[in-house]
Amino acid sequence: MSRFLYTKKNIIEFTPVLSGVKICVILRISSRSTSCKYRCLYNTACYRHGKVGNMRTDILIVGTGCSGLYAALHLPQDKSVTLITKSDVESSDSYLAQGGMCVLKDESDYEAYFEDTMKAGHYENDEKSVEIMIRSSQDVVKDLISYGVDFQKEEDGSLAYTKEGAHSQKRILFHKDITGQEITSHLYEEAKKRSNITILEYTCLMDLVCENNVCRAAEVVYSDGTTERIYADYIMLATGGIGGRFRHSTNYRHLTGDAIALAEKYGIKCKNLDYIQIHPTTLYSDNTGERSFLISESVRGEGALLYNKNMERFVDELLPRDLLTKAIYEQMEKDGTDYVWEDLRPIPPQELEEHFPNIVAHCLNMGYDVEKECIPVVPAQHYFMGGIEVDHESRTSMDRLYAIGETACNGVHGKNRLASNSLLESLVFAKRAALDIGKKIETRAKLP
């Protein structure tokens, strides 16, 4: 049973899947999806319908979100790098990140930023991971700007910062309310310029080939049903989160924890698999088959309020996500409703249009004018703090196998992630993984 409270209605047999009871299950994609034919956790029987071929690459990265792309950009350019993704590149949760990305503005904010991260994580965080993430943030920002990422600026041209729940001060860089798209699309464009990088879309990871605790290859299935074994010196798992296993989630439906299932199969160490974050505010909808639309925490950081059924405030809107989610569920139970109300009207109209245009447009499309009325919001599964256990260089317990991004657990988030630390953490530890592989390749080249 998950340690996270108030998830019982939201979850669909997630714990049995990860514990191995129902791990070999094929889930057919609905007709709405453009993803690969099978949305599945591993199952050796499901891909024997095609002839298995072989290919070779120096490094294989499974996943094309921000961590996978950023890692590819920091691997040696004289080595072949192949990235595969279950859907198209843009159908990644990295593209969905709205609020922004944290950064250490200057040394005066270090202690506060560190404490905010630890407090949000209930002090279960790996302190060294937190230090690495914060200290590396400015370096990541320089990289992103060099790729053309356009963070919001002040009138004097300096970087602008916003604030979200559980942050003691403004330290979050952003691009309107589509920061993830701004970052990941530029990483994608940069990757397409590299002659050593190949990206294969609609390609599903089905299994790993392991021998004596060494990862040798990955078996994949293409959209036409043909299969291939891809041999690589190093493999990175960057398969994202687990939201596809939930009835209500902000994640894409094809993200089903595939790498976690394979880790369970091969005895690769995992950590905190029940640390699942529920985002407090997604737009309420009767349609449970679609991805939940996130109402960014940034709107509360800029002044949005939460009301009960009587249009009365009932909570501090800037509590950490887990505590706010708990308060919302309690209020819903007390009111006998399926949602609470969020009021964006305290935010000046110009600020709404400039900072949150995507949210404003989506709500309007759903029949809500946020400048004139409140919107119904409900918590939904959002992020996975647990995952495949990795060290500070993103190495797993299996040789030549790395895990990065949401599928990995380096302990930086503890029991609950601080808002807007996800993009930063993914990028910081993806780069460290790539540089570690680069060092190993260089060392091997020097051997007689």
More confident call, 319 vs 21: 319
Average pLDDT of the segment spanning 217-228? 96
pLDDT at 318: 93
What is the per-residue pLDDT across 299-345, written as a single tens digit (0 to 9) for each?
A: 999 999 999 999 999 999 999 988 999 999 999 999 999 999 999 99
pLDDT at 256: 95
What is the arithmetic mean of pLDDT over 134-153?
A: 98
Q: Cα–Cα distance between 387 and 273 in angstroms, integer? A: 6
Q: Tell me, what DSSP letter sits at residue 227? A: E
Cβ atoms within 10 Å of 154's Cβ, excluding its own: 9
Per-residue model confidence (pLDDT) at position 248: 86
pLDDT score recorded for residue 411: 98
Cα torsion for 315, 337, 32, 240, to the nearest 10°? 30
Using the predicted structure, report yes or no on whether residue 24 has a pLDDT greater than 50: no
Average pLDDT over residues 285-292: 83
User: What is the mean predicted confidence (pLDDT) over 150-166?
Assistant: 95
Most confident of 49-58, 232-241, 318-327: 232-241
Query: Would you place residue 368 in the very low, low, confident or very high pLDDT band (cuts 50, 70, 90)?
Result: very high
Given a contact cutoff of 8 angstroms between Cβ atoms, the answer to whether 43 and 161 are in contact is no
Q: How many Å apart are CA 328 and CA 297, to the nearest integer? A: 14
User: What pLDDT band is residue 51 in, cutting at 50, 70 and 90?
Assistant: low
Calpha distance 329→327 (Å, rounded) = 6
Pairing of strands 172-173, 101-102: antiparallel
Per-residue pLDDT for 233 more than 70?
A: yes
Asked if 316 and 280 touch (Cβ cutoff 8 Å), the reply is no
Q: How far is CA 314 from CA 177, 310, 391, in A?
A: 26, 10, 41
- Work out the pLDDT band at 52, boundaries 50, 70, 90: low
Of 64-73, 288-297, 349-358, 389-398, the least confident: 288-297
- State the sign of the Cα–Cα–Cα–Cα dihedral 304, 325, 316, 307: positive
CATH of domain 1-277+382-448: 3.50.50.60
Q: Which of 260, 283, 278 is nearest to 270 (CA)?
A: 260
Q: What is the chain's mean pLDDT, rounded?
A: 89
**In the structure, what pLDDT confidence band is assigned to residue 380 with cuts at 50, 70 and 90?**
very high
Burial 106-126 (b: 16+ CB within 10 A, else e): eeebeeebbebbbbbbeeebb
Return the CATH number of 278-381, one of 1.20.1250.20, 3.90.700.10, 3.40.605.10, 3.30.1360.20.
3.90.700.10
Residue 109 pLDDT greater than 70, yes or no = yes
290 — pLDDT class (breaks 50, 70, 90): confident
Average pLDDT over residues 11-31: 29
Rounded to 5 degrees, φ, ψ at 339 are: -165, 170
% residues pLDDT > 70 (the chain): 88
CA angle 40, 44, 45 (to 5 degrees): 90
| In the predicted structure, residue 227 carries a pLDDT above the cut 70 | yes
- What are the tens digits of pLDDT across the range 243-288? 999 988 999 999 999 999 999 999 999 999 999 999 999 999 988 7
The phi and psi torsions of 408 (rounded to 5 degrees) equal -100, 155
Q: Check pLDDT > 70 for residue 45.
A: no
**Phi and psi angles of residue 244, each rounded to the nearest 5 degrees, phi first:** -65, -10
Average pLDDT on 100-118 reads: 97
Q: Where are the domains of the chain?
A: 1-277+382-448, 278-381
Predicted pLDDT at 447: 80
174-190 burial code (b ≥16 CB/10 A, e <16): bbbbbbbbbbbbbbbeb
> Which residues are catalytically annotated?
321
What average pLDDT does this structure show over 406-419? 97
Q: Give the residue ranges of DSSP H helices in 172-306.
A: 179-193, 258-266, 297-301
Distance CA 355, CA 234 (A): 41
Q: Structure pTM?
A: 0.85
Whether the per-residue pLDDT at 360 is higher than 90: the answer is yes
Rounded to an integer, what distance in angstroms lies between the CA atom of residue 240 and that of residue 389?
Answer: 14
Domain 1-277+382-448 matches domain 278-381 at the CATH topology level? no
Q: Per-residue b/e over 25-40, b at no fewer than 16 CB within 10 Å?
A: beeebeeeeebbbbbb
Structure confidence at residue 200 (pLDDT): 97
Question: Both tokens of residue 391?
Answer: 């060290």
Q: How far apart are CA 34 and CA 202, in angstroms?
A: 9
